[in-house]
Structure 1
């Protein structure tokens, strides 16, 4: 039986570990925290997952909260106008629903399931020297912990990374009591509010420790008026108050339904930011042995496109199939690089799209946002691109293809 070591207990590491245990592998997973410590800790992300990522969990039988989490059927976009109103406002319908489950709920539950299923769980932080001494006991070592000194094993890939600094200051608040959106009160949807030159506010339904909730997620251009949460990072009440004041000032249509919200819990806030980066997938340890990086260890995009957990799920699915297909063959450096390139075939478009969204929208993207308000099929195609990201190559990421597509839509409606 092949022995696999996974360091890191997030979406990618746990999904891969559970998948490998289910296929008969001897898997050891190292986590810095116990399930209870995770449940009692701070929120970690926004984690809206779209249909193909949710399908990966269903296939492994680990979609334990599918009947409890809000079912998201739409994705809407609003663009703030200079008069305080909305210059653009529309809702795209998802072909298949999305869901978000607080990672405190999911990762704690998955850790417990991993042990029940026969995996070996070790609760201990892992240093570089720890990892180097451990790898000799395993056929493959996978690093799925996106923070700490282990990330330094994986060199920045300058050819695939276009940023060297943080592109957004991030602020997350989990709340109860958010009212429905008047335009579609019966449809749970992710709402993307774009504030030109300032940043974005994303509003999304989720499931947390205390049940149904909503997430208020600001992305602020560094140095701008939304880059103001560092000083309140340890004061949840002040964090929420500042969030609401910024909503009142910049997105009053969202503020109106948020007047009565309350924090879900005193650990329901998060402040951060990091430079988007793509790293080399193979890390060489002091002993000369190798480790394979996965998910945000090697591809860390800004969360503006909501792809972090989706990338993690897809990376875990690719690696699971690659390890299985290898059979008794070598799980060496060549295997690691090939496994990553299979994942990069998907992640490359996500990275290009995310980097494009961080920049001021070019004219052809503005044309798309405007057309989506007039033609529901454009809105729907944009919304479903959050799941089927490869489709953006066919129309959104190339100005000529964009205009050709929009011309087809206009002609079809005229006919």
Structure 2
């Protein structure tokens, strides 16, 4: 039986550990926190997962909360005008519903499941020296802990990482009491509110430790008016500032948020990081090799909501590659080929996300505007969040955008 060590108990690490466990591998999982510590801790992300990523969980029988989590059936975009009005507003329908499960709920539950199924669980924060010692007893070591010292083993890929600094300041609040969307109250949707020059406000339904809730998520341009959460420690102050900024920049969202309250004392999060692609293979001091997983090697800004989706897709790709490899050694060539297989998907996410962080060119503004008049455009844009590769066909190049809009308008007029 092949022995595999996975360091990190997030979406990718746990999904991969449980998947390998189900295939008969002897898996050791290192987590720096227990399930109870995760469950009672601070929120970690916003994690709206779309149909393909949810399918990977279903394939492994890990969709424990699917019947409880809200079904998000649409994705809408609003653009704020100079006077605080909405100059663009539309909702696209998703072909398959999305769902968000608070990672405190999911990771704690998955961690307990891994242990209950006989997995070797080590509660310990791992440094490079620890890994150098442990690695000798395993056929393969995977690093899925996206923060901390271990990431330093994976050098930045400058060619694939255009930004050296964070492009947004992030601030998240989980709340109860958000009112319905008056424009489409009959189904749940993620709302993407674009405020040019200021940042973005995302509003999405979720399932948390106390049941149904909503996430208010600001992405502020560094140095701008929404980049104001640094140093705020009190969760109540964090929520108050979130609402103050909503009232000023997205009054249509603030109108349904006047009665919200935090889900719990751990329901806020703030921070920033530079989107970075790293070299996938880490070299240990003793000469061993480790393979980076998910956001260890491809970390995108959450502006396109791809983090947990990419993590699920990476875990699924690595699982297939490990099983297919059989008893052969997990050498450097295999590690490189396995990452390249994941990059076939991840490259589209990175390209699209980095484009959304910049000032949108005229043809993209035309595309977003046209989606308000042509429902097929809104629907296709929304479903691009599930399959970002499709943006290659109509988003990046002005000629392709124009041809696509012309074809849709022609079909609508026929």
Same fold (TM over 0.5): yes
Counterpart for residue 378 of structure 1: 377
SS in 2 for 1:142: strand
CA distance in 2, matches of 1:412, 1:59: 38
Query: Are residue 70 (structure 1) and residue 105 (structure 2) matched?
Result: no
Counterpart for residue 203 of structure 1: 203
CA distance in 1, matches of 2:24, 2:397: 45
Counterpart for residue 342 of structure 2: 343
Aligned pairs for 1:73-152 (under 5 A) are 73-152=73-152
> Deviations along 1:194-233, whole A, 9 cap, x unmatched?
000000000000000000000000000000000000121x
Query: Are residue 259 (structure 1) and residue 234 (structure 2) matched?
Result: no
Counterpart for residue 410 of structure 2: 411
CA distance in 1, matches of 2:247, 2:125: 42
Counterpart for residue 393 of structure 1: 392
What are structure 2's unaligned runs of at least 5 residues?
none
Moved over 3 A (4+): none
CA distance in 1, matches of 2:412, 2:291: 50
> Deviations along 1:314-349, whole A, 9 cap, x unmatched?
000000000000001111111111000000000001
SS in 2 for 1:212: strand
> Deviations along 1:7-46, whole A, 9 cap, x unmatched?
0000000000000000000000000000000011100000
SS in 2 for 1:106: helix
SS in 2 for 1:121: strand
Counterpart for residue 223 of structure 1: 223
Instruction: Give 1:150 deviation, angstroms.
Output: 0.2
CA distance in 2, matches of 1:132, 1:97: 43
CA distance in 2, matches of 1:116, 1:223: 47
Counterpart for residue 309 of structure 2: 310
Counterpart for residue 324 of structure 1: 323
CA distance in 1, matches of 2:160, 2:411: 39
Instruction: Give 1:117 deviation, angstroms.
Output: 1.6
CA distance in 1, matches of 2:249, 2:391: 29
- What is the number of equivalent residue pairs in this alignment? 414
SS in 2 for 1:115: helix
SS in 2 for 1:52: helix
Query: Are residue 170 (structure 1) and residue 149 (structure 2) matched?
Result: no
> Deviations along 1:277-334, whole A, 9 cap, x unmatched?
0000000011111000010000000000000000000000000000000001111111
SS in 2 for 1:374: coil
> Deviations along 1:218-263, whole A, 9 cap, x unmatched?
000000000000121x100010001101000000000000000000
Quote the RMSD (CA, aligned, Å). 0.5
Counterpart for residue 365 of structure 1: 364
* TM-score, with length taken from structure 1: 0.99
Instruction: Give 1:414 deviation, angstroms.
Output: 2.3
Instruction: Give 1:82 deviation, angstroms.
Output: 1.2
